[in-house]
Chains A and B, each alone.
Chain A
Amino acid sequence: MGDIFVIAEHRNGEVREITFEMLQKAAELGQVLACGVTAVLLAGPGEAFAEALSKKSDRVLVFEDERLKTYNSDLYAGILAELLKEQQPFLTLMGHTSWGMDYAPALAVKSGYPLATDATDILLKDGQPQVIRQMYSGKLFSRVSFAPSEGYMITVRSGAFKVDEAAERSAEVVSMDLPQDLQPPRREFIEFEDTASGDVDITQADLLVSVGRGVGEADNISAVQELAELLGGTLSCSRPVVDKNWLPKYHQVGTSGKSVRPKVYLALGISGAFQHVAGISGAGCVIAVNKDKKAPIFRVADYGIADDLFNVVEALKAKAGA
């Protein structure tokens, strides 16, 4: 049987946490399947990522090239397709991140392996992988099987697997050559742009009063802003509020905004998509108010109120202002 491959993800000189989360799950599956764990690294010359990966895998395959200093969809898909063809891994894991979403489906088509995305768990049934994943923004879970194949591909949700820091392995690091006939990329990196910094720093607040889609319209935000001020807190929000231009992006909590660690996070009309919830895992206490008593936010909140957010906002204002 082929190995389990984990494609490493790195940005700005750091291996991203999702890589170690995938290696953790790969080690667990590898034990059951009696196969090894191979980390695959595409990086610029002299970048010292291989050592960290070698402690969590049995083999590290390193492609080093000036063009691989930053992520590139064409180069990743091109190099990895050749590698999979040559090595025939049983299972290939990639992050369900912006970059993983960018190259994994292309790689699946190139290699002919079936792909399941955004796994929150991976099971083995009769030696074949199956995936647990969410639908309808977390309101429904599903168990997904693959059509029989020589190899399988899965993208993994960030935070789905916990890294066991103590577990150490020791891998050989193998330097790989880029494919001879690698096509020049059709997309070229220019720069990174910080889009989430601005007048308010939501990462420093002890109390965040956070507003979501449930606020209904732009004009209603002032009532929540007033409450934040009365309570001595800072106003933040979830993605739909920024998408609709009701608040600037520097208020946004979540994977595409900021991760926050307030003592109290008051979530008003926020449904609790995983991208949002990932940004509040460091909060001391989460209090959620939502009309929908089945909203996913109640699964992660410490306290919940199933009510119209404005009832609670007005009552809090009356108490705090008194």
Chain B
Amino acid sequence: MNIIVCVKRVPLTQEVDLEIDESGKKIKEDALAYVINDWDNYAIEAAVQLQENLGGEVTAITIGSEDDEEVLRRALAMGADRAVRIDPGELVTDGYLDATILAKTISGLEYDLIFTGVQSEDRNTGMVGIMLAEQLGLAHAAVTNGIEAEEKAAKVFVELEGGIDEVSRIQLPALLTIQTGINEPRYVSIMGIRKAKKKELKVMTLDDLGFGAEALTPQTQIEEVFLPPETEGAEMIEGDAATIAETLIRIMGEKGVTV
């Protein structure tokens, strides 16, 4: 079972005050810490688990700068066999262009399954994986939270709203977008990091892939970003912990919950 897994490095924004830069079209990213996109971490684990059980090779791919190689090294340390970074240069991509670049990169490779995360933590579009599947002409399933590999097929569990899974059988090769919680991603071990250093990490440019400049026009563009309006919201309760607790118990009582 050969598996390709597409990954991305994203800024860590929980418990961080975001600031908008001078362009008004994006946030200031310099001061932020970066991590692997949460969904992609689960996707790598899903790929490595299948490879451990069934053999084959796992290839991790990202689009990004040299700094983004961090997530590829992480994938290699988790058990991926090789990695590819596509350097987009100055090109600003949208979901459609990411899918287009990935499709060209993957079209020459051999695979049974392609995994992407359901979405990325930064743009939250949830479109790259399925657009990639369609560009490659593959069967696909979005929001996958269970996979049972079969002969030339897989039983897939897709998470629907309301605590319902849709179980279906999909022909391989196929692309699955992976939901968080599908597995327990392993920690990266010292041994894994050491092994990763010996594995291949190939860098390709858009030229290497044979793209002319005119072929890469985004379909969507961010005109402006803005912080959520602060006009409405919670009445904030302040004070020492004991006073807060007393206030909360009084509020609960008023709302019909007697403690």
Contact = CB atoms under 8 A, between A and B. Distances in A.
B252 interface: yes
B221 A105 contact: no
Interface string A99-128: 101111110111000111110000000000
A115 B128 CA distance: 11
Contact of B157 (A130, A193, A207, A232): A193
Interface in B213-259: 217-228, 232-238, 241-242, 244-246, 248-249, 251-252, 255-259
Interface residues of B, number: 85
A291 interface: yes
B234 A98 contact: no
B234 A302 contact: yes
Interface in A112-170: 114-118, 130, 133-147, 149, 158
B181 A239 contact: yes
A194 interface: yes
A118 B123 CA distance: 11
Interface string A259-270: 100011010000
B242 A142 contact: no
Contacts of A305: 236-238, 244, 248
A189 B122 CA distance: 32
A143 B127 contact: no
A294 B166 contact: no
Q: How large is the interface on A (under 10, 10 to 19, 20 to 34, 35 or more residues)?
A: 35 or more
A219 to B, nearest CB: 16
A301 B27 contact: no
B139 A192 contact: no
A263 B256 contact: yes
Given A136-B18, A264-B257, A190 B234 contact: no
Interface of A: 11, 71, 73-74, 77, 96-99, 101-106, 108-110, 114-118, 130, 133-147, 149, 158, 186-197, 206-207, 213, 230-233, 239-240, 242-245, 249, 252, 255-259, 263-264, 266, 271, 284-288, 291-292, 294-296, 298-307, 311-312, 314-316, 318-320
7 contacts: A187-B174, A190-B169, A193-B165, A249-B163, A294-B17, A307-B244, A320-B249
Interface of B: 11, 13-15, 17-18, 27, 95-96, 99, 118, 121-131, 133-135, 139-143, 155-171, 174, 177, 180-181, 184, 217-228, 232-238, 241-242, 244-246, 248-249, 251-252, 255-259
